A and B are shown apart, each in its own frame.
Chain A
Amino acid sequence: MLEIKNLHASVDNKEILKGINLVVKPGEVHAIMGPNGAGKSTLASVVAGKDEFEVTKGEVLLEGQDLADDAPEERAHKGIFLSFQYPVEIPGVTVTNFMKTAINESRKARGQEDMPANEMLKMIKEKAELLEIDRKFLSRSLNEGFSGGEKKRNEIFQMAMLEPKVAILDETDSGLDIDALRIVAGGVNKLRSKDNAVVVITHYQRLLDYIVPDFVHVLYDGKIVKSGDASLALELEEKGYDWIKQEMAL
Chain B
Amino acid sequence: MAYTEEELKKELETKEYEYGFYTDIESDTFPVGLSEEIVVAISKKKEEPDWMTQWRLDAYRAWLEMEEPEWANVHYTKPDFQAISYYSAPNKKPKYNSIDEVDPELLDTFKRLGISLDEQKKLAGVAVDIVMDSVSVATTFKKTLAEKGIIFCSISEAIKEHPELVKKYIGSVVPQKDNYYAALNSAVFSDGSFCYIPKGVRCPMELSTYFRINQAGTGQFERTLVIADEGSYVSYLEGCTAPSRDENQLHAAVVELVALDHAEIKYSTVQNWFPGDKEGKGGVYNFVTKRGICENHAKISWTQVETGSAVTWKYPSCVLKGDHSIGEFYSIAVTNNFQQADTGTKMIHLGKNTRSTIISKGISAGKSQNSYRGLVQVGPRAENARNFSQCDSLLMGDQCGAHTFPYIEAKNKTAQIEHEATTSKIGEDQIFYCNQRGIDTEKAIALIVNGFSKEVLNKLPMEFAVEAQKLLEISLEGSVG
Contacts and interface: CB of A to CB of B under 8 A. Distances in A.
Contacts of B167: none
A72 B2 contact: yes
A93 interface: yes
Contacts of B434: 90, 102
Interface string B437-481: 111110100011011111100000000000000000000000000
A91 B451 contact: yes
Contacts of A102: 434, 437-439
Contacts of A101: 439, 443, 447
Given A92-B455, A101-B443, A105-B443, A162 B437 contact: yes
Given A51-B4, A88-B427, A91-B452, A72 B447 contact: no
Contacts of A48: 436
A49 B2 contact: yes
A72 B441 CA distance: 10
B433 interface: yes
Interface string B1-45: 111100000000000000000000000000000000000000000
B45 to A, nearest CB: 49
Nearest to B441: A73
Contacts of B452: 91-92
Chain B interface category by residue count? 20 to 34
A71 B3 CA distance: 9
Interface residues of A, number: 31
A73 B439 CA distance: 6
Nearest to A51: B2
Contacts of A91: 424, 451-452
A109 interface: yes
10 contacts: A49-B2, A50-B2, A51-B1, A51-B432, A52-B4, A88-B430, A91-B452, A93-B451, A98-B447, A105-B443
B53 interface: no
Contact of B453 (A75, A82, A92, A106): A92
B429 interface: yes
B427 A93 contact: no
A84 interface: yes
A123 B291 CA distance: 49
Interface of B: 1-4, 424, 427-430, 432-441, 443, 447-448, 450-455
Contact of B438 (A84, A87, A105, A141): A105
Given A84-B433, A92-B453, A92-B454, A73 B440 contact: yes
Contacts of B436: 48, 72-73, 75-76, 81-82, 84
Interface centre among A48, A51, A87 (most CB of B within 10 A): A51
Contacts of A71: 1-3, 435, 440
Interface in A105-130: 105-106, 109
A91 B453 CA distance: 10
Contacts of A141: 451
A18 interface: no
Interface centre among B3, B435, B448 (most CB of A within 10 A): B435
B438 A76 contact: yes
Contacts of B439: 73, 101-102, 105
Nearest to B428: A52
Nearest to B439: A105
A10 B452 CA distance: 35
A196 interface: no
Nearest to A48: B436
A77 B436 CA distance: 9
A202 to B, nearest CB: 19
B448 A90 contact: yes
B437 A98 contact: yes
Contacts of B424: 91
A90 B438 contact: no
A73 B2 CA distance: 8
A167 B309 CA distance: 46
Interface centre among B2, B430, B439, B440 (most CB of A within 10 A): B2
A90 B440 CA distance: 15
Interface string A42-66: 0000001111100000000000000
Nearest to A107: B438
Contacts of B2: 49-51, 71-72
